[in-house]
Chain A
Amino acid sequence: MPSLGADMRAAILMRWRVKPGDRVKRGDIIAEVETDKGLIEIEVFENGVVDQILAEPGKKLPVGTVLATIRGEGEPAPVIVTPPAVAPALEPVSEAKPPVRAAPMPHVRASPLARKSAQELGVDLSKVTGTGAGGVIEQADVLQAAAMTKEEKPLAPAEKFRRAVAAAMSRSNREIPHYYLATEIDMTRSLGWLTDQNAKRSLKDRLLVAVLLIKAVARALADVPELNGYWIDDQLQKKDAVHAGFAIALRQIGLIAPAIHDAHLKTLDELMAAIHDLIPRARSGRLRSSELTDATITITNLGDLGIETLFGVIYPPQVALVGFGKVANRPWAERGTIVVRPVLTATLSADHRATDGLRGAQFLEALNDRLQTPEKL
């Protein structure tokens, strides 16, 4: 069966024009075949005598099938009319399906760059919170996580940490629309109460102002819960538990703010214990990653450094940062006269996508209220 076209695979032999014994010469029509395009006459290219008819009419035969043999002049052996059978084109074998894995591994969605960074910095992606669209982990998230360390691993070099912090802070400034509120809090009652408490305690059990502030913040958040949570995927995820990020100064590096878990539930003593535990571990690079990723709000107290007012940059994906300056004696108007009171400037840096000034102000008012009734903290 000859090939008559690139897309001809087979044809139906319809009729023989010759029979065995017939003499044929080159160019004679030997048979008719039915193709997709119609009936076509096929010719013979040799001179000779038809020897054997090998195919019967009516069958569809692929190109290359031997249809008949022709004996050349004076030749004993038959001359094949058609070329040797061409191997039929192999149908493509479909790929075997790979075996289904017994336990599918959880897929962490992270950008290619984040994955590369994670690999370079030794960060476990499954423990990173992503802030990209749909919770995808982006590089900044990895850098932030890398700025922290895991239990067994040593502290990441200071340079890497600093860079990670720089990246996180730039990103925060770029991405989060901050608004700022400040209020002055009369600390007379709180300090007075604290003095009384500490008088009954040993030196090592002393309560610091810081724990009053932390507890007050945690309690005030009950009134304005929108300040406690994460902004992810264009929406606010409020958290019930208050894990207060507590900013600790590390020499040469800057501030780190590990979380005090469940600050709203801890007693003042428990908060003190938490601080005593955190600070040395922070300074020696032995914080747990959960402490560094779980904070739902951050509290920065720079009063020790003599700062009066602090306007902080929010740590994404948190939506608020509460800043406290130093307690200083200041003139205070009361009942028409000027008195001197110990005053603390408290600031709120908040994400305008999650809250507005009204809620922020309500929070600061609630905070103030709490610090006026320290015995209830």
Chain B
Amino acid sequence: MTTTTYREAVREAIRQALRNDARVFLMGEDVGHYGGCFAVTKGLLDEFGPERIRDTPLSESAFVGAGIGAALNGMRPIVEIMTVNFSLLALDQIINNAATLLHMSGGQFNVPLVIRMATGGGKQLAAQHSHSLEGWYGHIPGIKVLTPATIEDARWMLATALADPDPVLIFENQTLYNMEGVLDPKVTFVDIDHARVHRAGDHISIITYGVGLWKSLDAAEKLAAEGIEADVIDLRALRPLDNETFLGSLAKTHRALIVDEGWRSGGISAEISARIMEIGFYDLDMPVQRVCGAEVPMPYAKHLELAALPQPETIAAAARKMVRKNG
């Protein structure tokens, strides 16, 4: 088992997809000659040529729509939108076409499209470049939303997404690209509709996704030293949400803490909280708590940005308060 990075894992996933299926091609801004804004596709243009690694103009609507059309007509495109911030320019295509064509056509046309985007804040890129909108996309029926947090998921979720007959959006938190780790050679497939428990504990359930997983595991270590043991759950997909896993954890711990990079109001944390209330109400020994992004456009100054996002300390403090009922 050799060490690799999240970035390399995504690259290898794309490479494998291009090798295995002639219908697969990748298009997006700067994916070819530039090598990818986050260097994910570096070297792929040389390896696969301009027909299969296509640089597009800055036309999100056009190339996402083109991805949809190509998927309708026999291809298996991977559209790379540089970041979720720019995906807003393609919202019409994603929500009014990709998500609806199967339904509007009464089942005649499905859209086997994969869209990958970088997401998240934490690099002092300020308000327009720091969104975490994957939870928002989780609101839309007709698409699937994935948030690979681990290198294993970065490596293997793409293949499962490409095999899915419906549009799948994959959100890669940009602070994870450099993350190092080891891939288990025995794992060659992952599902895209189940959460995973990364740490087991009886006192509290910490439910999270994406980079929140690593912040929560950090917090869980701190808490363990204080005698508080947490279940840490990586949702892995925000649509569909794996109720069974987090509700099962709640049945054991009776306390739920949700960690979400996005804003609290109307976000995915609210949805999870609602499901816990609806289905797991009688397992609750206290109200569900959430640690979310602060309700503010992302500020540039470092200390403000840190305060605007969940951190291991704030996660631990919230958990501590729930278990100890003091600070």
Query: Which A residues fall within an 8 A CB radius of B?
Result: 111-116, 131-133, 136, 138-139, 173-175, 234, 353
Contact = CB atoms under 8 A, between A and B. Distances in A.
Given A139-B285, A174-B228, A113 B325 contact: no
B227 A174 contact: yes
Interface string B190-210: 000000000000010000000
19 contacts: A112-B281, A112-B285, A113-B254, A113-B282, A113-B283, A115-B282, A132-B286, A133-B325, A136-B286, A138-B285, A173-B227, A174-B227, A174-B228, A174-B324, A175-B323, A175-B326, A234-B325, A234-B326, A353-B326
Given A111-B286, A113-B283, A139 B254 contact: yes
Nearest to B323: A174
Interface in B303-324: 323-324
Contacts of B228: 174
B285 to A, nearest CB: 4
Given A139-B254, A174-B227, A132 B325 contact: yes
B282 to A, nearest CB: 5
Nearest to B322: A133
A108 to B, nearest CB: 15
Interface residues of B, number: 14
Query: Which of B254, B283, B285, B326 is the most central at the interface, judged by chain A CB atoms within 10 Å of its CB?
Result: B285
A131 B286 CA distance: 12
A175 B284 contact: no
Interface in B223-268: 227-228, 254
Task: Identify which of B228, B323, B325 gathers the most chain A CB atoms within 10 Å of its CB.
Answer: B325
B321 to A, nearest CB: 10
B46 to A, nearest CB: 56
Nearest to B327: A234
Nearest to A113: B285
Interface string B285-301: 11000000000000000
Contacts of B323: 174-175
A138 B284 CA distance: 9
Interface hub of A111, A131, A136, A353 (most chain B Cβ within 10 A)? A111
A125 B228 CA distance: 28
A234 B324 CA distance: 11
A174 B326 CA distance: 11
B324 A138 contact: no
Nearest to A117: B285
- 5 closest A-B pairs by beta carbon, nearest first, are A113-B285, A111-B285, A112-B282, A139-B285, A112-B281
Contacts of A173: 227
Nearest to A233: B325
A112 B278 CA distance: 12
A111 B282 CA distance: 8
A358 to B, nearest CB: 21
Contacts of B324: 174-175
Given A131-B325, A133-B286, A175-B323, 20 more contacts: A111-B284, A111-B285, A112-B281, A112-B282, A112-B285, A113-B283, A113-B284, A114-B285, A116-B282, A136-B286, A139-B254, A173-B227, A174-B203, A174-B227, A174-B323, A175-B324, A175-B325, A175-B326, A234-B326, A353-B326
Contacts of A174: 203, 227-228, 323-324
B289 to A, nearest CB: 11
A113 to B, nearest CB: 4
Among A113, A132, A139, A234, which residue has the most Cβ atoms of chain B within 10 A?
Answer: A113
Given A112-B281, A174-B227, A138 B286 contact: yes
A175 B203 CA distance: 12
A218 to B, nearest CB: 29
A32 to B, nearest CB: 37
B276 to A, nearest CB: 11
Contacts of A136: 286
Interface string B170-213: 00000000000000000000000000000000010000000000
A230 to B, nearest CB: 13
Contacts of B203: 174
A133 to B, nearest CB: 7
B136 to A, nearest CB: 29
A306 to B, nearest CB: 30
Which residue, A112, A132, A133, A175, has most C-beta atoms of chain B within 10 A? A112
A116 B283 CA distance: 8
A175 B326 CA distance: 8
A138 B254 CA distance: 10
A95 to B, nearest CB: 22
A113 B253 CA distance: 11
A351 to B, nearest CB: 11
Contacts of A115: 282
B186 to A, nearest CB: 39
Given A139-B254, A174-B227, A174-B228, A112 B283 contact: yes
Which of B283, B286, B324 is packed against the most chain A CB atoms within 10 Å?
A: B286
A115 B283 CA distance: 10
Nearest to A115: B282
A116 B324 CA distance: 22
A356 to B, nearest CB: 16
Contacts of B254: 113, 139
Contacts of B227: 173-174
Contacts of A132: 286, 325
